[in-house]
Amino acid sequence: MLYVREKRMREIVTSKRLALFFFAIFCVYILLTLGFIPVHFAKNSTMSSKSSGAEVSSYSNHVFLSTLVPSLVEKRLIFIGDVHGGLEELNNLLEKLEYDRQRDHLIFVGDLTAKGPHSLEVVRRVRELGASGVRGNHDDKIIRWKGYLQSLKLQGSEYSSANIPGEFKIGSQHEYLAQNLDEDLYEYLLTLPIILEIPEYNLYVVHGGLLPNKTIHEQSPFDIMNMRNVLDNGTPTKKKHKGRPWTELWNEAQVKSSNPKTIIYGHDASRGLVIKPFSIGLDSGCGSGRQLTAMIWNQERQLIY
């Protein structure tokens, strides 16, 4: 009889332990689902982006596609090339443009940051101007660094170079800028999408480029921010010594299209200003000792240096 009681007690204890175990798993699942427990991945940290169908860093926190609101489309649109921390160049260009916030709306083609001496000041100035824009590849590196550093803070973990995910370069300018980027400026950078659409003018604004043989949502955020050429097999690349410039393929496709789209982009300073019927490249080397360029969206596509 005693043996039966002991056996029954062991069964009850075991059942309670199993119940607690499964309850704990259920609680963790709920917390993960609601986002109370941050999830991060190791060395090659990636996760699927539902918006683009491509894999991006789990620290990216990107907006894939935004549309310029109609009230801004009614203004004089001014597109500005890669600023790269050139605050003086930006302010000088605004004077040449006789910029008036009531009349004009500024749109930046990405890479407000890095290379030049005043990256954070440029972001602050652009935010104060109420400008739109897209995320550049250098902006993206700073955003990802900031996201990673914030994740450590949320976890109560110490920063250690031994545990840095492989996507980051230790000691880079991007790391330094991320460490000094305040929350307001970080939040502003997060609002800049990978693609800005202006349907009233059949325009896309991106930093790097787009492929003509894929829909928008089939394309990788990384490629959109980084591409310069397209290899013979259709793979985009940021290198220029192989394949063809993506702009050649894009323009060829738009000539044949019943609804052609024009892309305004940056990222390709070595090629300078490249003006084609359906693509306009505005990176003229600001931040590397060269000029900053703006284009007023009118019939003349007027360029201001």
The confidence score (pLDDT) of residue 42 equals: 28
pLDDT of 33 above 80: no
Are the CB atoms for 76 and 103 separated by under 8 Å? yes
Share of the chain above pLDDT 90, in %: 71
Confidence of residue 39 (pLDDT cuts 50, 70, 90): very low
Task: Show the tokens assigned to 253.
Answer: 């496709």
**pLDDT tens string 135-165:** 999 999 999 999 999 998 888 887 777 678 8
DSSP string, 79-130: EE---TT-HHHHHHHHHHHT--TTTEEEEE-S--SSSSS-HHHHHHHHHHTT
Q: What mean pLDDT do residues 261-265 have? A: 98
- Among 196, 189, 186, smallest CA distance to 265 is for 196
- Note if the pTM is more than 0.85: no
Q: Which of 246, 85, 254, 46 is nearest to 165 (CA)?
A: 46
Cα–Cα distance, 233 to 248 (Å, whole number) = 15
The tens digit of pLDDT for each residue in 173-226 reads 999 999 999 999 999 999 999 999 999 999 999 999 999 999 999 999 999 999
Residue 252: alpha-carbon gap to chain centroid:
27
Give 275's pLDDT tier (boundaries 50, 70, 90).
Answer: very high
What span, in angstroms and rounded, lies between the C-alpha atoms of 281 and 132?
Answer: 17
